[in-house]
Structures are given as C-alpha cells and as structure tokens.
Structure 1
Amino acid sequence: MSSRESILAAVLKNQPPASPLPDISTFKGVRQDIVSKYSETFTGIGGQLFQAKRFAEISDLVRKNFDTTKRIITTLPELSDSFELLDPEADPHSFDDVELAIIEAELAVAENGAVWLPEYRMGQRIIPYICQHFAVVVPTERIVPTLHEAYQIIGAGDYGFAAFIGGPSKTADIEQALVLGAHGPISMTVFILDQVTDKNLTFTPSSENK
C-alpha cells in the first residue's frame, strides 16, 4: 500500500459518526410564475433569455441574434440541420474559433439564474468557457425554484466534472469597472423550451444520467 492509499484509508476509518441532515423543507420555493422569476433573475445578472415552443424557433432566434457567418456548434441533434454538431472526440484545441456554443442544461435555478451543467451535457468540458458566446436550452419543467431543490436532485449524482454557470463571464476587480468576457464568454443566452418535443429532453435526476 502506498503512502497515499495508507493516508486515505486512515481518514476513511476515522470518520465522525453520521448525523441526520437538517430539515430544509422551509427553503422550498413555489413553481408559480417560475419562468417569469427565472427570466427576471437571469436578465438581472447580464444574460438574455428567449422562450420557444420548438427547436425551429430556437434556430430562427440564433440567426437573428448571432453572427451565423462564424462558427456555431451544438450538442443538440435537433439543431444539427442548422449548425455544426459537436464532436465529443475532437481535439479540444480545435474549438478555439467557436463564436457560439449551444448545449442542453440539466436544470436551471430561478433563485439565482444559474444552470447546472454536468460534463456529459457539455460535450467537452472546455465548451462553456472557450466560446465567445454561450447558449443553453432548458425545458420549462427543468426550472426549479431554489438552489436547495437543485441539490436535492443532483446531490446523488456521480460527476467527473460539472458546474453551475450563471450569466456571462464578468469581473469588476480592476478600478470597479465591469468587464464582460474577462474569463470566458462575452454573453450567455438561455432558450426556455416551453414544450418538450423530444424524449431526450425529458427530465430525469442526474444520478440516473451518469
């Protein structure tokens, strides 16, 4: 047994006794007007949001709001007729010229405007950070009121890599001047899909989507 394995085994052996988790039922939110709440929060942190009933509407919105002469990639087969379908086996360096990336979010949180993105939704983990503009598709039923409820859904999942992302990359560290795109995408867009039109978008807990 190596030193590392010995240390980890000793730590595992000397765990404190288990204690019951606190009752967080008081933190449960309400789903009434949840789309409006999410929209208000997300646009308040610098994002832009559109509602659509089908993928064709999303394609049209992309063409109206982004430069389609530049490279646009997506993980969604429903959009592959209009945009490049991401190759998960491609060299990550080959995505350095992506203008817009469109992927599917696992869920969205009305409380803070964030979306939950495990790696298998990203296609490749570099995608949400290397593109100039970032967009996600979120079916309406995947919006949860609070972060507590989001963790109740995703907490049992086994993730190699995942992240909550809320709004475009921004910083105000230097002279308190807000700079967008400082560490990642300049803009972030959420497309709320009001009507699920594909079985692949049916929501299931992340622990079942390893």
Structure 2
Amino acid sequence: MAVLSSIGGRVVWVADPAQLGPVVQQLFPDARRTASNLFPATVGVHAQTPTSGLAEVDLAVLPGEIGVAENGAVWLPEANMLHRALPTVTQHLVLVLDHRHIVATMHQAYARLPNTGGYGAFVAGPSKTADIEQSLVIGAHGARSLVLVLY
C-alpha cells in the first residue's frame, strides 16, 4: 500500500467484492463512460472494439491477478483487459485484486505467471513522465489515476 501510494496510486479496501459498484461510484462520481467486466458498465468493450471507440472511456474497472508488494505493480493479463489498449487509453483505471494474491517480489510474481504465453502487463501507478527540468506530468502516456481495490 505504501509503495503504490508513493508512486501516485491509491489503495482502497472493501470487505466484500459486492461493494465494488458503490465504492467506484463514490470514488468517481463524474465518470459517465465506464468499461468493466466486473459490474454493469455504460460502454461495451471487447477485443475488436476500434481504438477510436475507447477514446472517450472515463473509467475502466478490471480484475488484476497478482499484486507485487515491492513495487506496487499488478499483473493484468489480456483476458482481463477487455481490449489490450483499454488500461492505457482510459482516463482512470481501477484494478480489483484479492489481497491473498499479493506476493513480496517480482521474482515471486513471475514464478506464478502461467506458461501459456499471451499478452499481459504489470501496471504500477498512474502514467507519469518528467523532463530534464524535473517537471512531473501525471497521465502523460496512460491513465491519469490508478486505484487498487483490495478485498
């Protein structure tokens, strides 16, 4: 939790995954175009959705598979993304993870990845970049915010 917070993310605990809808509504009350495979969404997204159709997504809520304590990263396989561009195109990203799937190190996380191949990504914090003058920009190349919901 401390690492993810230090890199610009946020962690929210829920007692039950059934609370996800109300929690997301409270966190993002202005989100109108949401994409999710965890609760009813306002935008239908699938692997063949044109990327132009993703441009207006305010919020994506997706299930993560493995959390990494040392760097705050969450493994997000393509099967959980709805569309492989969605986690980087959305304005705000919420990843949902069972806290029992958090490991200490990246080595442990890689050891748990299935050997089936395929695309996936470790996502840690919102997108950010800084120039030589150390001017930090959040959301430069991806989601402007990342919230990890643990249950």
Please confirm whether the aligned pair reaches a TM-score higher than 0.5, indicating the same fold: yes
User: Which residue type is aligned with residue 12 of structure 2?
Assistant: F
**Alpha-carbon distance in 1 for matches of 2:114, 2:18:** 34
What stretches of structure 1 of length at least 5 have no aligned partner? 1-38, 194-210
Aligned to 1:113: 72
Do structure 1's residue 176 and structure 2's residue 138 form an aligned pair? no
SS at match of 2:58: strand
1:69 Cα deviation (Å)? Answer: 4.9
What is the number of equivalent residue pairs in this alignment? 150
1:140 is the counterpart of 2:102: no
Equivalent AA in structure 1 for residue 88 of structure 2? Y
Residues 10 and 146, structure 2, Cα contact 8 Å, conserved in 1: yes
Rounded to whole Å, the distance in 1 between the matches of 2:126 and 2:95 is 12
Q: Is the 8 A contact 1:105 1:136 kept in 2?
A: yes
Alignment match, 1:186: 144
Whichever structure has more strand as a proportion of its residues is 2
Alignment CA distance shift 1:86-1:110 (3 Å): farther
The answer to whether structure 1 residue 84 and structure 2 residue 46 are counterparts is no
> Structure 2: any 5+ residue segments left out of the alignment?
none
Equivalent residue in structure 1 for 2:111, among 142, 152, 166: 152
1:168/1:181 contact within 8 Å kept: yes
Provide the alpha-carbon RMSD of the alignment. Answer: 1.6
Return the match for 1:59 from 8, 15, 21: 21
Percent sequence identity is 36
Question: Residues 100 and 135 of structure 1 are in contact (CA less than 8 Å); yes or no, is this contact kept in structure 2?
Answer: yes
- Mapped to 2, the partners of 1:85 and 1:138 lie a distance apart of 22
- Partners in 1 of 2:104 and 2:31 — Cα distance? 37
Shift of 1:67: 3.2
Deviations 1:14-37 (A, max 9, x none): xxxxxxxxxxxxxxxxxxxxxxxx
1 CA distance for matches of 2:25 and 2:114?
37
Q: Which residue of 2 aligns with 1:98?
A: 57
Whose helix fraction is larger, Structure 1's or Structure 2's?
1
TM, length-normalised to structure 1: 0.67
Normalised by the length of structure 2, the TM-score is 0.91
Deviations 1:175-204 (A, max 9, x none): 2011101111110000002xxxxxxxxxxx
Structure 2 residue 7 is matched with structure 1 residue 45: yes
Q: Is the 8 A contact 1:75 1:85 kept in 2?
A: no
Larger radius of gyration: 1
Question: Using CA pairs below 8 Å that are at least 6 residues apart, which structure has the higher relative contact order?
Answer: 2
